[in-house]
Amino acid sequence: MSIPLFKTTIKNNWLLLLIFFGVLTMYMTIMISMYNPDDMQAITSMLELFPEEMMNAMGFSGAVTDLTGYLASWLYGLLMFGFPMVYCIILGNKLVAKKVDNGSMAYLLSTPASRTKIIVTQGVYALLSVVLLFAALFGVGVVTSIAMFPDLLDIGAFFKLNVLTMLINMAIIMITFFFSCLFNDTKYSLGFGAGFPILFLLMNMLGGASDKLEILKKLSIYGLQDPVELVHDKDALGLDLFFAGIIALLFLASVLVFRRKRLPL
């Protein structure tokens, strides 16, 4: 870790994080305010207006009636992956490949900071920013729910849901980060760094829409869990550890490829 670099990275990227936090906070508060504990019928009948496959693709489920399940289905089925994914793609590319592509990496490397130190610093920022995003969103969810519907949110289950969603998004940012370390050209870094997460998201949606394509969902990094099942008493520790492993592996791989490669600076 290089503290001066970490400070500079925060300074250059906090606004991006704030924007995504703002957008997701808006969605979350709107979704919570739309919840009506006495009449889930309204939402269920609205759902019936849309084709069932489409609703399944989005991960929406009309069967749940409790607030935690409702949030898991409507918010954590798609939105909490789709929006942070865009954040991950932008940030991952910006942290390494963009600096190599525009040449400013030369200045970082012409200081006593080693390549490993630079990549570890950038990677730690990437991971911590996702942690911060989900910690803040968890806080927003809890506070808004308590203010609007006291006692209806299962905070323990909601926490479990947020931890796993956070880990999945951390794995996604490590995918974009890995390609950012692998390629010298932002064209490829962005292509692969955006391509894989988008592909995973599409696989997850297609797999959800049709039973025949369910295998796609199982192969997608997003489809390994079901947020509704998760909040209804399913243990997530195994999956948490699995994603933590993926994150660690990708981080290690990022450092290794960057250490060994030739930089056209």
Catalog residues that contact another protein under the rule CB under 8 A: 2-5, 8, 12, 99, 102-104, 106-115, 117, 262-265
- DSSP letter, residue 211: G
- Give CA–CA dist 80/208, Å, rounded: 16
Residue 40 phi, psi (nearest 5):
-75, -15
Residue among 221, 224, 229 nearest 247 (CA): 221
Please identify, using beta-carbon distances, which residue of 245 and 264 lies nearer to another protein.
264
Residues in the chain: 265
Query: Residue 74 or 125: which CB sits closer to another protein?
Result: 125
In sequence order, which ranges of 48-154 are alpha helices (DSSP H)?
Answer: 52-58, 67-74, 79-95, 97-102, 105-109, 115-148
**From the CB of 197, what's the least distance to another protein, in Å?**
25
The nearest distance, CB 8 to another protein, in angstroms, is: 6
Instruction: Please state, in angstroms and rounded to a whole number, the distance separating the CA atoms of residues 28 and 31.
Output: 5
- Least distance CB 182 / another protein (angstroms): 16
* Residue among 106 and 155 whose Cβ is closer to another protein: 106
Q: Which is nearer to another protein, 113 or 198 (CB)?
A: 113
Count Cβ atoms below 10 Å from residue 252 Cβ, excluding itself.
Answer: 13
CB of 97 to another protein, least distance (A): 14
| Least distance between another protein and beta carbon 108 (Å) | 7
**Identity of the amino acid at 215:** I
Of 4 and 245, the one with the shorter C-beta distance to another protein is 4
